[in-house]
Amino acid sequence: MNNIFSPTEENIARAAELIRNGGLVSFPTETVYGLGANVYNTRAVASIFEAKGRPHFDPLISHIAEVEFLKEYAATDERVIALAKHFCPGPLTFILKRTDSNPSIDLACSGLSKIAVRMPDNKIALNLIKKSGVPIVAPSANKFKAVSPTTAQHVRESLGDKIGMILDGGACRVGVESTIIDVTEKQIVLLRAGGTAVEEIEAFLGEKILISDGNPNKPSAPGQLLKHYAPKNSLRINVTRKQENEFLIGFGNVEDADLNLSPSGDLKEAAANLFAYMRLADEQCGNKTLAMSPIPTTGLGLAINDRIKRASYK
Ligand code: TXA
Ligand code: MG
Domain count, the chain: 2
Kind and range of the H or E run holding 117: strand 114-118
- The reported pLDDT for the residue numbered 145 is 87
Q: How does 82-119 read in b/e, with b if 16+ C-beta sit within 10 Å?
A: ebbeebbbbbbbbbbebeeeeebbbbbbbeeebbbbbb
User: How far does residue 148's CA lie from ligand 2's centre (Å)?
Assistant: 6
- 119, 179: one domain: yes
Q: Which domain holds residue 270?
A: 235-311
Which residue's CA is minimally distant from atom 18 of ligand 1? 223
Q: Is residue 81 part of a domain?
A: yes
Check which CATH number belongs to the domain holding 76 and give it. 3.90.870.10
β-pairing, 114-118 vs 189-192, is unpaired
- The reported pLDDT for the residue numbered 215 is 65
- Find all residues with CB under 8 Å of 78, minimum gap 6, and list them: none
Q: Is the peptide bond before 89 cis (omega within 30 degrees of 0)?
A: yes
Ligand 1 atom with least separation from CA of 116 = 26
Nearest one of 226, 188, 162 to 77, comparing CA atoms? 188
- 188, 305: one domain: no
Please state, as a whole number, how many other Cβ atoms lie within 10 Å of the Cβ of residue 6.
11
- 116, 51: one domain: yes
Q: Is residue 216 part of a domain?
A: no
Among candidate residues 211, 227, 260, the one where a domain is terminated? 211
Ligand 1 test: best mutation among 180, 189, 218, 224, most atoms within 8 Å of CB? 180
Q: Is 109 in the pocket of ligand 1 (CB under 6 A)?
A: yes
- The reported pLDDT for the residue numbered 214 is 64
β-pairing, 179-182 vs 92-98, is parallel
Q: Is 115 in the pocket of ligand 1 (CB under 6 A)?
A: yes
- 68, 117: one domain: yes
User: How far does residue 37's CA lie from ligand 2's centre (Å)?
Assistant: 15
Local confidence pLDDT in tens for the 314 residues of the chain: 689 999 999 999 999 999 999 999 999 999 999 999 999 999 999 999 999 999 999 999 999 999 999 988 899 999 999 999 999 999 999 999 999 889 999 999 999 999 999 999 999 999 999 999 999 999 999 999 889 999 999 999 999 888 999 999 999 999 999 999 999 999 999 999 999 999 999 999 999 999 877 666 666 788 778 888 889 999 999 999 999 999 999 999 999 999 999 999 999 999 999 999 999 999 999 999 999 999 999 999 999 999 999 999 98
Q: Is residue 229 part of a domain?
A: no
Q: Using CA atoms, how far apart are residues 33 and 157, in angstroms rounded to an integer?
A: 13
Ligand 1 test: best mutation among 99, 126, 177, most atoms within 8 Å of CB? 177
Inter-residue contact 115 to 62 (CB < 8 Å): yes
- 184, 137: one domain: yes
Check which CATH number belongs to the domain holding 265 and give it. 3.40.50.11030
Q: Is residue 224 part of a domain?
A: no
- 192, 264: one domain: no
- The reported pLDDT for the residue numbered 1 is 65
Ligand 1 test: best mutation among 29, 93, 176, most atoms within 8 Å of CB? 93
Q: Using CA atoms, how far apart are residues 9 and 19, in angstroms rounded to an integer?
A: 15
β-pairing, 189-192 vs 61-63, is unpaired
Q: Is residue 41 part of a domain?
A: yes
- 106, 251: one domain: no
- 240, 202: one domain: no
- The reported pLDDT for the residue numbered 154 is 96
- 106, 57: one domain: yes
- 44, 80: one domain: yes
Q: Is residue 220 part of a domain?
A: no
- 193, 266: one domain: no
Q: Is residue 156 part of a domain?
A: yes
Q: Is residue 203 part of a domain?
A: yes
First-to-last C-alpha distance (Å) of the chain: 35
- The reported pLDDT for the residue numbered 21 is 97
